[in-house]
């Protein structure tokens, strides 16, 4: 009887603890809180009749920009871009608005426009934020040496977490993983408790570094740390879902991707979910997601936007296996950016089209950049094998395996 | 392939940078000695409780139970007056010392300053200060850690916003107040910014635009003719006094060659004499500490060197305190259930989890000589000795000619320049000949009331005031600046007075550190407005008893 009482008491306590946990678990996330605050401020700014028109316009422009930055939604980005452009045309110049516009242009792959906007800034050579963006543009254009020297010079002038993280990312591209990781750790050390989203973001990068080298457990640990630092962020969940998919924890991955899509219905994630269903051997489930993703990509292109050219190239190459269409979009992308990823996409599109000699030439350009990426190496291996360069193909395949022993696992096209 | 991540990064990274433009009302102009990293004068930086305002320190007039030192560290009242930020930690460092007589100068050369700096360095590198560390929990209570005191260390958790007497293990009572007060700083800060042509006070300048802080226009105490960017504009009377506008297009320089004079021949003062902090509050840590708690040898250790620091919690430190999955550990819940959660577990007072942000010791040092640079936030500022020589000469070329124009004598050798000059130096050795007298002259006190025991104590030379960056509280004086810092000291004007000729600058007679606050001087000078540069007293009367700073507004 006494034992029963003790057991009952323990059950009661356990239930209570679980109830407390559940209540605490249902709290709003950090992401929700931040987004709600921004959206409430947007509403207030729209109704603000007291501020001078230039201040009101600048304020609303920034709020829309913040919203776009947080949600990653192309709709929000378009909205912010239009408002910022109108504000800059109507009122006097503001450095922050120019930087915001340059950032948005970069996000939309409008590199030339981004550069033009930055060139409007007075004393550009002294503006570390603008110089960091210039270096980001150089990265996208494939001018890696220029990007590297700019990042390093900028870091000497302003040791901020974002400047350190930029250099870490560049190191990671070229396979200098130890230094990339060390720099990310340094970046984290610069981040205060007031910037937990930034900390989460750097944890995400560290996790992705591990993921890209097949270390899923380590990646997962970083992703969970990111979630802990800043809860409810769709970006963290997207990477987490990718890792779950790679680990073949398919149901969890599907569920998380669906959750991300509810909050941030972006075509890249729709494609990722479709890709995951293909991996799961469920092409019938994949089709709807792929169709939706493609429709959004094409709609964007019809609007004159260029940000999904790269996605279209890989979509046609890998999902539809339509080489000619893939070449079309890869060519458009390459017209804007000449980085290793754009060259790799073109090489892979040409491969899909059976134009192996041209594919080989393009793959060599991508490899010549020195980028150390498992999928780039895998594509190059396939291309070399296709043209009969078996030794080179095998070597490249071996290198891909060294970079990431799990290079053939599920991954998201980014 | 992750090519898009960098683009995402750019957009992401810029998220945090623009809050002040969105919430301008929450971003007042900077005050006091902000380091740039948290300097809300910049358009992209929000105010922070890590922004230290002032460190006051003086011997208490209350001798009951023996001599006591009053130390008050004030800082921005963020998130609110009397409400403290749990991500911040504050330290007040105390280092007792015997008074040493100032060493004779060998040549009044750079080597004297460097020799002095070296002596300070060896002293400070071997001695660890005692420390009072304050952190906060979510109930707005403060944990006060006393570390490294002769009688040992101990901790106490206290309520904020009321006076608490903390009894040390050796029985010494330590009066403590941690809470919101009226800002004890009274100063025409916009006037100072106008004098150094500091654009972020007047225009929307983000932190990253380094060359657009102090513009390359001569510094001056009286307006320059045609200085369109900084001269008082009657059509925009509040510009720089709370209002800002975008930086006008055109050159950010000045091409004139004389001081401005009105039709009656009056110069225009860059100062207004108004208290920029009137009606404003601070948060404060105020202590009245028995000297015998600070040192075992109170008869010998007559100087208490004090400085304050603010530290911000690192994200990596904060994450340790966040429970997994939004829930708490079983152990925590078990303790909560039993009511046995240790009280101090609510505080994060391990300094290894924090990063130092701001240091306050000598008033105005940061704004005037350190240029608020983040990497110059240190009490042991010995490495900055040569920089101070160059900077003082740069300021001298600005202030010196304007002091001469007003009929006063300056210690700076500007070669009879009729107008202020913008000049910078690459080498201290080049700057020294011009600034030598200012650096090496002893300052004069207005009378002998500071020396309450009539001891053989000499006021310091200027360079001795700036190095190290601490308040050197002399227990045998009243503690008025530079023998400490009392609440009623007008330190902004006293700082300016170091450019006066202390020997013969005032009509052939010695000037002193209160000369510029003398109303009669301005009544007789060809200048408008006829006011001392800074207010003569605080907007609220100080209290006669602890915690001395007035009630908050």
Outline where B127-250 has alpha helix (H): 189-195
Domain membership of residue B294 (yes or no) is yes
Q: Do residue B15 and residue A70 have CB atoms under 8 angstroms apart?
A: yes
Q: What is the pLDDT of residues A329-383, one digit of tens each?
A: 999 999 999 999 999 999 999 999 999 999 999 999 999 999 999 999 999 999 9
Q: Do residue B5 and residue A169 have CB atoms under 8 angstroms apart?
A: yes
User: Whole domain around residue B301: which residue ranges?
Assistant: 49-107+129-185+279-367
Chain B contacts of A70, Cβ < 8 Å? 15
- What does the pLDDT read at residue B249? 78
Which chain A residue lies closest to B354 (C-alpha atoms)?
A: A192
Phi, psi of A154 (to 5 degrees): -65, -35
The pLDDT-based confidence of A55 (bands split at 50, 70, 90) is confident
Q: How far apart are CA A42 and CA A36, in angstroms?
A: 10
Phi, psi of B444 (to 5 degrees): -105, 140
- What does the pLDDT read at residue B18? 40
Q: Do residue A193 and residue B1 have CB atoms under 8 angstroms apart?
A: no
Nearest to B216 by CA among B256, B252, B270, B260: B252
- What does the pLDDT read at residue B105? 66
- What does the pLDDT read at residue A26? 52
Give chain A's mean pLDDT.
91
Give every CB contact of residue B35 below 8 A, 6+ residues apart in sequence: B357, B358, B366, B372, B373, B374, B376, B377
Which chain A residue lies closest to B36 (C-alpha atoms)?
A: A158
Domains in chain A, please, with CATH?
34-45+52-136 (1.25.40)
Chain B contacts of A166, Cβ < 8 Å? 6, 9
What is the pLDDT averaged over residues A211-220? Answer: 96
Considering only CB atoms, B87 lies closest to which of A123, A158, A193, namely A193
Domain membership of residue B66 (yes or no) is yes
Nearest to B475 by CA among B359, B306, B307, B308: B306
Query: Tokens 């041209």 sit at which residue?
Result: A358
Q: Do residue A198 and residue B16 have CB atoms under 8 angstroms apart?
A: yes
Q: What is the pLDDT along chain B (553 residues), one digit of tens a residue?
A: 343 444 344 444 443 334 334 433 333 333 455 666 666 666 666 778 999 999 999 999 999 999 999 999 999 999 999 999 999 999 999 999 998 766 666 667 777 777 777 777 777 656 789 999 999 999 999 999 999 999 889 999 999 999 999 999 999 999 999 999 999 999 998 999 999 999 888 988 876 666 778 899 999 999 999 999 999 999 998 888 888 888 887 888 999 999 999 999 999 999 999 998 899 999 999 999 999 999 999 999 999 999 999 999 999 999 987 776 545 555 554 555 565 556 667 899 999 999 998 889 888 777 777 777 766 666 777 778 888 889 999 999 999 999 999 999 999 999 999 999 999 999 988 999 999 999 999 999 999 999 999 999 999 999 888 888 889 999 999 999 999 999 999 999 999 999 999 999 999 999 999 999 999 999 999 999 999 999 999 999 999 999 999 999 9
Q: What ipTM was predicted for this assembly? A: 0.82
Q: How many distinct structural domains can be found in chain B? A: 1
Mark which residues 449-478 of B lie under 8 Å from A by CB: none
Q: How far apart are CA B41 and CA B34, in angstroms?
A: 9
The CA radius of gyration of chain B, in Å to the nearest whole number, is 24
- What does the pLDDT read at residue B10? 42
Q: What is the DSSP letter of A28?
A: P
Report whether pLDDT(A57) > 60. yes
Chain B contacts of A205, Cβ < 8 Å? 5
Q: How far apart are CA B532 and CA B496, in angstroms?
A: 12
- What does the pLDDT read at residue B124? 64
Domain membership of residue B174 (yes or no) is yes
Distance from CA of A146 to the nearest CA of B (A): 16
Residue B270's alpha-carbon distances to B196, B251, B267, B420, in angstroms, are: 10, 21, 9, 13
* Assigned token pair, A79: 């909205």
Domain membership of residue B269 (yes or no) is no
Chain B contacts of A228, Cβ < 8 Å? 319, 322, 324-325
Chain A contacts of B22, Cβ < 8 Å? 41, 59, 62-63, 66
As to burial, measured by CB atoms within 10 angstroms (0-12 exposed, 13-18 middle, 19+ buried), residue A284 is exposed
Domain membership of residue B36 (yes or no) is no
Q: B44 touching A, CB under 8 A?
A: yes
Which chain B residue lies closest to A14 (C-alpha atoms)?
A: B330
Q: Do residue B7 and residue A310 have CB atoms under 8 angstroms apart?
A: no
């Amino acid at each position: 009887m006494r034992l029963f009482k003790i057991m009952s008491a323990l059950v009661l306590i356990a239930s209570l603890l679980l109830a407390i946990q559940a209540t605490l678990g249902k709290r709003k996330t950090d992401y929700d809180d931040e987004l709600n605050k921004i959206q409430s401020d947007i509403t207030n700014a729209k109704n603000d009749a007291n501020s001078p028109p230039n201040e009101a316009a600048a304020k609303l422009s920034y709020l829309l920009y913040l919203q776009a930055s947080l949600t990653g939604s192309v709709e929000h980005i378009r909205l912010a871009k239009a408002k910022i452009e109108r504000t800059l045309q109507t009122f006097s110049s503001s450095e922050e608005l120019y930087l915001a516009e340059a950032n948005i242009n970069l996000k939309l792959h409008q590199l030339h426009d981004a550069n033009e906007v930055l060139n409007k800034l007075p004393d550009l050579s002294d503006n570390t934020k603008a110089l960091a963006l210039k270096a980001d543009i150089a990265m996208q254009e494939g001018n890696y040496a220029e990007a590297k020297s700019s990042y390093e010079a900028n870091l000497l002038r302003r040791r901020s977490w974002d400047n350190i993280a930029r250099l870490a990312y560049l190191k990671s591209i070229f396979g200098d993983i130890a230094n990339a990781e060390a720099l990310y750790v340094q970046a984290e050390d610069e981040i205060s408790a007031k910037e937990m989203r930034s900390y989460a973001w750097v944890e995400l990068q560290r996790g992705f570094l591990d993921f890209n080298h097949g270390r899923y457990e380590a990646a997962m640990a970083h992703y969970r740390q990111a979630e802990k630092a800043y809860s409810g962020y769709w970006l963290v969940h997207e990477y987490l879902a990718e890792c779950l998919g790679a680990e073949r924890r398919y149901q969890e991955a599907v569920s998380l991707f669906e959750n991300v899509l509810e909050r941030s219905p972006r075509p890249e994630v729709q494609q990722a979910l479709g890709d995951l269903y293909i991996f799961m051997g469920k092409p019938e489930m994949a089709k709807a997601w792929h169709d939706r993703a493609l429709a959004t990509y094409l709609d964007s292109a019809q609007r004159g936007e260029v940000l999904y050219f790269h996605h279209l190239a890989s979509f046609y190459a890998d999902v539809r296996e339509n080489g000619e269409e893939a070449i079309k979009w890869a060519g458009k992308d390459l017209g804007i950016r000449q980085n290793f990823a754009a060259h790799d996409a073109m090489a892979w599109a040409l491969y899909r089209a059976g134009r192996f000699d041209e594919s080989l030439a393009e793959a060599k350009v991508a490899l010549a950049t020195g980028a150390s990426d498992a999928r780039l190496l895998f594509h190059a291996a396939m291309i070399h094998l296709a043209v009969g360069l078996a030794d080179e193909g095998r070597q490249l395949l071996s290198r891909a395996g060294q970079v990431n022993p799990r290079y053939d696992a599920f991954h998201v096209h980014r | 392939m992750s090519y898009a991540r960098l683009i995402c990064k750019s957009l992401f990274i810029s998220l945090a940078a623009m809050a002040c433009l969105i919430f301008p009302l929450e971003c007042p102009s900077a005050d006091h000695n902000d380091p740039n990293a948290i300097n809300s004068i910049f358009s992209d930086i929000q105010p922070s409780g890590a922004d230290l305002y002032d460190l006051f320190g003086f011997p208490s007039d209350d001798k009951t139970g023996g001599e006591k030192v009053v130390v008050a560290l004030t800082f921005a009242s963020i998130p609110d007056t009397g409400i403290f930020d749990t991500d911040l930690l504050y330290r007040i460092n105390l280092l007792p010392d015997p008074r040493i007589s100032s060493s004779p100068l060998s040549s009044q050369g750079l080597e004297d300053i460097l020799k002095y700096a070296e002596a300070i360095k060896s002293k400070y590198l071997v001695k660890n200060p005692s420390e009072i560390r304050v952190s906060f929990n979510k109930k707005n209570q403060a944990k006060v850690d006393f570390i490294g005191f002769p009688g040992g260390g101990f901790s106490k958790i206290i309520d904020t916003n009321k006076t608490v007497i903390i009894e040390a293990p050796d029985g010494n009572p330590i009066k403590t107040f941690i809470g919101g007060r009226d800002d004890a700083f009274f100063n025409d800060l916009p006037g100072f910014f106008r004098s150094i042509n500091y654009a972020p006070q007047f225009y929307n300048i983000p932190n990253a635009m380094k060359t657009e802080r102090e513009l390359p226009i001569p510094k001056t105490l009286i307006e320059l003719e045609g200085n369109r960017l900084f001269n008082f504009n009657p059509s925009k009377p509040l510009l720089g006094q709370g209002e800002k506008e975008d930086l006008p297009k055109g050159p950010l320089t000045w091409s004139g060659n004389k001081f401005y004079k009105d039709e009656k021949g009056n110069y225009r003062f860059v100062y207004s004499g108004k208290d920029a902090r009137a009606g404003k509050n601070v948060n404060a840590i105020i202590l009245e500490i028995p000297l015998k708690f600070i040192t075992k040898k109170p008869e010998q250790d007559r100087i208490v060197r004090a400085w304050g620091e603010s530290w911000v919690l690192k994200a990596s430190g904060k994450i340790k305190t966040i429970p997994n999955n939004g829930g708490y550990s079983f152990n925590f819940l078990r303790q909560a259930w039993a009511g046995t959660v240790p009280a101090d577990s609510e505080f994060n007072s391990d300094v290894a989890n924090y990063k130092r942000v701001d240091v306050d010791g000598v008033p105005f040092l940061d704004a005037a000589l350190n240029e608020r640079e983040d990497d110059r936030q240190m009490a042991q500022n010995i490495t900055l000795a040569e920089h101070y020589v160059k900077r003082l000469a740069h300021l001298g070329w600005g202030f010196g000619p304007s002091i001469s124009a007003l009929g006063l004598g300056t210690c700076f050798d500007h070669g009879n320049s009729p107008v202020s000059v913008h000049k910078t130096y690459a080498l201290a050795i080049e700057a020294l000949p011009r600034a030598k007298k200012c650096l090496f002259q002893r300052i004069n006190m207005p009378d002998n009331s500071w020396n309450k025991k009539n001891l053989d104590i000499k006021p310091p030379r200027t360079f001795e005031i700036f190095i190290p960056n601490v308040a050197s509280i002399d227990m045998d004086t009243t503690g008025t600046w530079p023998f400490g810092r009392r609440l009623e000291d007008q330190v902004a004007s006293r700082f300016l007075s170091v450019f006066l000729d202390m020997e013969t600058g005032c009509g052939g007679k010695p000037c002193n550190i209160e000369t510029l606050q003398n109303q009669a001087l301005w009544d007789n000078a060809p200048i408008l407005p006829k006011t001392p540069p800074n207010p003569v007293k605080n907007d609220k009367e100080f209290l006669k008893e602890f915690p001395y700073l007035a009630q908050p507004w």
